[in-house]
Amino acid sequence: MSWALLLGLLAALLLLLLLSRRRSRRPGEPPLDVGSIPWLGHALEFGKDAASFLTRMKEKHGDIFTVLVGGRYVTVLLDPHSYDTVVWEPRTKLDFHAYAVFLMERIFDLQLPHYSPSDEKAKMKPTLLHKDLQALTEAMYTNLRTVLLGDATEAGGGWHEMGLLDFSYNFLLRAGYLTLYGVEALPRTRESRAQDRTHSADVFHTFRQLDLLLPKLARGSLSVGDKDRVCRVKGHLWKLLSPARLAARAHRSKWLGSYLLYLEEIGVPEDMQARALVLQLWATQGNMGPAAFWLLLFLLKNPEALAAVRGELEQLLSRTEQTVSQMTTLPQKLLDSMPVLDSVLSESLRLTAAPFITREVMVDLAMPMADGREFSLRRGDRLLLFPFLSPQKDPEIYTDPEVFKYNRFLNSDGSEKKDFYKDGKRLKHYSMPWGAGHNQCLGKAYAISSIKQFVFLVLVHFDLELINPDVEIPEFDLSRYGFGLMQPEHDVPVRYRVRP
Ligand code: HEM
């Protein structure tokens, strides 16, 4: 080893030791666990399998503790009765956006100098509600039909084989993209629809390459080869979603119009706008496909559940005057009358939605717990809720929490079940796939109606089967804890054909 290298290593070690001057727990603070590696603390275990690591920490310290993770002190709160206080704290105390801005830069190379999250939110929120929501839902139905039925017809009759994740993610993202970012032309023609299918497939396949590398990108652990690939893929996505290209598209959503206007108002140049649009593609489309994958897989593995959903849909259709092929939209009233499918969706999300609900601690803070205890949080630390462990997988709340029970969110009279208990007390938050409070997902209603429309179209128009009916439900890709919906370690082969 050369002297220069040795000196370099010693300097790095010294720096690490200086940086990691250990802090000690002050009275009133949660239990502190800094691990054994200076500065890194528990970063390796956390990144490898956050759910197992946090479960171990909970067994050791209880439902609130502070851990050192890559130079940051993160206070983890796992008592669902205490979540409500956190999610309603004002931004001046617990801030959602600081971490989002950090990820924006690290993953999407995005810098927005005059960015104001609250202005952005004020402009975007109305575009996902009320009349605009209805317009999105209608456009989504049309676009889902274009990609789903069009692709199948183009491919000819008979069975087609594909992975179920690929199937769900592909069709939902492509239709979602066309809905938000616009279509080739209006009125639609046979040629413009074909163009929509080709272009959206290009967007999906390019996006998916980035999506697969996202956990490594967020942790800064890409190999040299991965870095090259990420560069190429991002470059292609920036071109596909450049404002100049989007300007030529028809039937663009209000959501897109308002977002572009906001970026222009704060003086974002066009090349940076394209990056922002790629970030939005991920934020709006990255979870729906995986959610639909798990839902369909649970149905295919549970014949009783599938029969119950089919029964519900057939009953609804028998009450409408049009046949399915005549229906150009799926009215909201119909979408709102599917309690069995709603329960299946809630149960699927309970088992597979694992976002980190992260807030930056902006000032020294006293945090009251629901049981009367109070803990001090330090300014500059990060607070993390992980509802996946509790409430979602908590055996005190859900019997056999690992098991998919399609009617878990149904009362015996068929209405939605909303009462779940822990320590004898009713829970306000018994599942949190959408977050909660000030920063609850703005696209929740649109996402739910999109997933339901997709499942409706698949079940009504296709025969869909597992190629191996005995296939096991795959394990999670453990590197994806924290990003939203989990993805499987590997895909599950299915075959499908258009129903005669
Ligand atoms: C299955 C699909 C989806 C899931 C599971 C999901 C989940 C989430 C979660 C967990 C959060 C963070 C909440 C927090 O930290 O407190 C969030 C935020 C957000 N989501 Fe979604 N989301 C989905 C789809 C969508 C769609 C389709 C859109 C828009 C069209 C959207 C727009 C947003 C926005 C704008 C925020 C930030 C809210 C804020 O700034 O306060 N999401 N979502």
3-state helix, strand, coil in the chain (%, to 5): 55, 15, 35
Closest CA to 401 of 476, 347, 474, 344: 347
Cβ atoms of residues 95 and 87 within 8 Å:
no
Ligand 1 center from residue 174 Cα (angstroms)? 18
Per-residue pLDDT of the chain (500 residues; tens, 9 = 90+): 555 666 666 666 666 555 555 799 999 999 999 999 999 999 999 999 999 999 999 999 999 999 999 999 999 999 999 999 999 999 999 999 988 888 899 999 999 999 999 999 999 999 999 999 999 999 999 999 999 999 888 888 899 999 999 999 999 999 999 999 999 999 999 999 999 999 999 999 999 999 999 999 999 999 999 999 999 999 999 999 999 999 999 999 999 999 999 999 999 999 999 999 999 999 999 999 999 999 999 999 999 999 999 999 999 999 998 888 889 999 999 999 999 999 999 999 999 999 999 999 999 999 999 999 999 999 999 999 999 999 999 999 999 999 999 999 999 999 999 999 999 999 999 999 999 999 999 999 999 999 999 999 999 999 999 999 999 999 999 999 999 999 999 999 999 999 98
Q: Hey, whose CA ends up nearest to atom 3 of ligand 1? A: 287
In angstroms, the CA 103 to CA 105 distance is 5
In angstroms, the CA 29 to CA 463 distance is 57
Ligand 1 surroundings by CB, under 6 angstroms: 96, 121, 128, 283-284, 287-288, 291, 353, 355, 357, 433-435, 439-443, 446-447, 484-485
In angstroms, the CA 122 to CA 202 distance is 32
In angstroms, the CA 473 to CA 282 distance is 25
Here the tokens at position 32 are 């502190």
In angstroms, the CA 189 to CA 5 distance is 65
Cβ atoms of residues 140 and 177 within 8 Å:
no
Amino acid identity, position 277 = L
Amino acid identity, position 100 = A
Here the tokens at position 487 are 């993805």
State pTM to two decimals: 0.96
Helical (H) or strand (E) element with 67:
strand 64-69
End-to-end CA distance of the chain: 71
Ligand 1 center from residue 447 Cα (angstroms)? 9
Pocket test for ligand 1, best of 434, 439, 483, 486 (most atoms within 8 A of CB): 434
